[in-house]
Structure 1
């Protein structure tokens, strides 16, 4: 296929570029040469091409096939490199490209993360972008290996809809949790130490879908989207600053009537969820939970946020362990409480929920629902005090011990009746 240029705004060099919307509308078949140099900028700033070096990927080296999906921060496309390798391309949304200093800090962080290699981490291949004549970044994309098994969030969401059809076994869920824990172990032992800060079901992708796997085929869970919290942090903090300031800095008696109403609604919903014998839509209505991207907050997502992060306190890698505990709960109990809240409200309700978690609320655990040893791991991971949470290495050891014991059945059948628990 010959190289095809898209029409769009022209720079002094005659080169053209197209907006993310135009790229999406045309399927982003092939973009022209779009990157401008940045010769006269402040100290420490370079063009994206210069900054990324070997990690830089030009539009011309990508052949976009189709759109895979859309998240809170990016549109995701399936593409091919010149050598025919299939890749995933994440085109960041424009609202996350407003602060130049944050963008270039993000690029430097991504350059460091490119050096990470682990079986349970989605491999970052490179980055690219578009700058106008003044050097302003107007498009930015990340290129990674492509995985076609879907996210854990999609899997659990489907399970919430198809209540009576078991999508996966507890043994498999524990295996995937072990994979995520090994990824965290690797990150936390890296030099310099890497804190993910946005660990959630959406950011864990499977190599193969449980629905389409062949008999005996291994499904590997891989952790994705490192460094994106750096770019999202200021935008989301500004977006929800009013309600965050109110619930953090004022006693409940001084909250506005709207915030008190939100709080009462969230409490009532949580009580209702805890009294339900199962989660899910009785009518199997897929639209009930579709379209609710996880609400992203100051650093991480409100539904997975450690108390010290919400309270704007100094934090360590133990914030990832807290989020891991929430992720493990959601996967093993086959439910996403934050999704239930979002489907009955909005992001500001999630801020209220995060405040309740910061004050000590946790979802109830039941040894009748999943094995006691798994509940003990969840409970230790989401401990309020970071010092009481285990290290990633300890979590790996505990999960390995459970899998090697006879507590779980590796041959547990799937596809039959499933009780999704509260």
Structure 2
């Protein structure tokens, strides 16, 4: 049994590549079903955010290429397009990676809490689709538990700065005073909610929220006093916006160069600050070529993330110790699963022997045979039946390590035989111990 994590993130791949490898919320169920059609993949979950796309899977055999091959096939990519940017983590390394990601240790902004919620959503989706099982269920349960422990026992989450916060911090570098600015938010997901909350906390009150579903804008209206509009109304409101923040699940750009050109003309070339937090991008990159249009993407935000870096790095050192210990625990559990089929078969076989001998003993008792004689015969027969296959196997061995293993397996410390042959010695000791325990 093996676990594997394959993906790319903000550190390994530029935005253009991440866009091409992204899996949207709408296509995620189909992607999971398509991935688990591959016979090598027993279980799978896909995490896809603006900063990363990662596949976590359970494989019966260590086939590291199956996921990268699937990514290329699913997204119609050439292997040369994506392979240089992919990372692969097998087994314990995959477990450690999952723990680090959920804890914010692998984020663009160390300690940001948003990724944990995104990971929980990714797992919930996979679980609903039936693409997780015993192994990934345990992995993600442990992942969330480790993330909670790290956040509660280290300073990694103290004063954490999210990507949304970084976007707002960047706006303060463009405008001297943002409190009187008008903000247009496009989308109503978690990222936009975080942006809105940070803006509101900075004193901004002129907020317009644009979304395809008006129902999802309700929270912004009640909590932040935002004015809701539909996406089709964007052209009428762009010219009034000093700042635009966008993060939707659209596969195509929502705001084009022409729309911003028109808005700037209406604003008499008054500056516009635009932040595209979506992957794939919501705002056409060509907008950045326009004079007085300041366009930033998620990759640009890395340059403005600097608060509390030292304290977070110190917390990472503490967190790594937790990650190491808990990943070892998980791998021990995973390794133990290998023994389950053998133990199940052993119990089934011994139960069958017991049933057979018990039936014979009961028939003798009903026939009036002496109970003590019946019990002795029953115990002796059990010992003989239980010992037959191990004894025959040991007689064919000529390996001291296997003899030592047999002594450990049957708990023979303190049980010694005078037989000269190692095979006979171990066999006799096993027989003697089994017989003694049957008598008691």
TM-score, length-normalised on structure 2? 0.23
Flag the structure with more relative contact order, 1 or 2, with Cα contacts below 8 A and sequence separation at least 6: 1
In proportion to residue count, which structure has more helix? 2
TM-score of the two chains, using structure 1 as the length reference: 0.23
